[in-house]
Amino acid sequence: MTGNIRTFILMAALTALIMGMGGLIGGKGGAVIALILAGAGNLFAWWNSDKMVLRQQGAHLVTREQAPELVDMVAALAQRANLPMPKVYVLETEQPNAFATGRNPENAAVAVTQGIMRVLNRDELAGVIAHELAHIKHRDTLTMTVTATMAGAIAMLGNMLMFSSMFGGRDENRGGGPAAILAMIFAPLAAGLVQMAISRTREYEADRIGAEICGQPLALASALARISRAASQVVNLPAEQNPASASMFIINPLHALRMDRLFATHPPTEERIARLQAMTTGAGAGPWGAR
């Protein structure tokens, strides 16, 4: 089964969850309304995903005059990846991390934190940016953003179902009863598991393609190790306030809080590093910064 087919099936499962919860809240009409709202949410995410996520994370756009080394690095790697130059953003958090967003390569953005620019060396940062460009190249950014939007919608429906169960009576066709209580508890968990499955299928491939773009698999492996260690010690408040977006980051930004580990959206860092170490150092067209 290819990654695209697997992703389609998983996103269909999220849509089914949304319809099921809508049905528990409002019967058949609720299911239809939930489906319509899910479609509207996806359209909104399609056109506004980059702005929405960047605003949530408190990112600000930087120009070459403001961050020449960073912007030049992104430009050089984008050229190697045969991609249009994405917009470059910086997040004002000390947690080292990064993500990419946008509905297509022509409307994409790469965002890095202040912390990652302090923690990583030049080649490691290039590996991280190449990883994010790989997501853009394969249009993972749209998939992950839409999935995050749907997961957030399911969490919202779970809250609505809770209030419906508490105050809506015991109508068997609407909120209330054991089925509603089970759905309220397990549907958000199931959404998180589906989101995790989508993220995992994408992260391994982005690591591989990113290593080929920068030409230095070991630099990306070293970056992942450094980011993972530091992310467990620094709280990223914007990410904690918007946990549905966690899957978009190169390393789970929610590691800082113990309970968040139950909902890890990324494959094990050790496995990602092992796969990168198994690649030859001559990946791609040679080290990105070679003269």
Task: Give 70-108 pLDDT, tens digit per residue.
Answer: 999 999 999 999 999 999 999 999 999 999 998 889 999
Tokens linked to 25 = 């809240």
pLDDT of residue 260: 46
> What is the spatial distance between Cα 123 and Cα 125, in angstroms, rounded to a whole number?
5
pLDDT digits (tens, 9 = 90+) for 24-44: 666 777 777 777 776 776 677
CA geometry: angle 181, 262, 158, nearest 5 deg: 25
Please state the domain extents for the chain.
Answer: 3-277
Q: What is the pTM for the complete model shown?
A: 0.75
Do the annotations mark residue 266 as ligand-binding?
A: no
pLDDT-based confidence at residue 243 (cuts at 50, 70, 90)? confident
Does 60 belong to an annotated binding site?
Answer: no
What's 112's DSSP letter?
Answer: E
Q: Which pLDDT tens digit goes with each residue over 97-142?
A: 999 998 889 999 999 999 999 999 999 999 999 999 999 998 887 7
Whole-number Å distance between alpha carbons of 212 and 230: 25
pLDDT for the residue numbered 181: 60
Specify the higher pLDDT residue, 165 or 83: 83
Q: How far apart are CA 238 and CA 58, in angstroms?
A: 7
Instruction: Tell me which of 45-54, 241-250, 253-262, 277-286 is least confident.
Output: 253-262
65 is in an annotated binding site: no
Distance between CA atoms of residues 73 and 125, nearest Å: 9
Inter-axis angle of helices 177-214 and 269-277, to 10 degrees? 30
Which residue in this structure is represented by tokens 């690095």?
A: 73
Stronger pLDDT, 90 or 282, i.e. the higher one: 90
Residue type, position 272, single letter: R
pLDDT (0 to 100) of residue 262 = 46
**What distances in angstroms separate CA 21 from CA 16, 40, 177, 179, one per listed residue?**
9, 17, 13, 10
Catalytic residues: 132
Q: Can you point out the beta strands (E) in 32-94?
A: 59-61, 87-91
Q: Taking residues 37-64, what's their average pLDDT?
A: 80
Query: How large is the average pLDDT for residues 196-218?
Result: 86
Task: Provide the 3-class DSSP secondary structure of residue 60.
Answer: strand
**H-helix or E-strand spanning residue 100:** strand 98-102
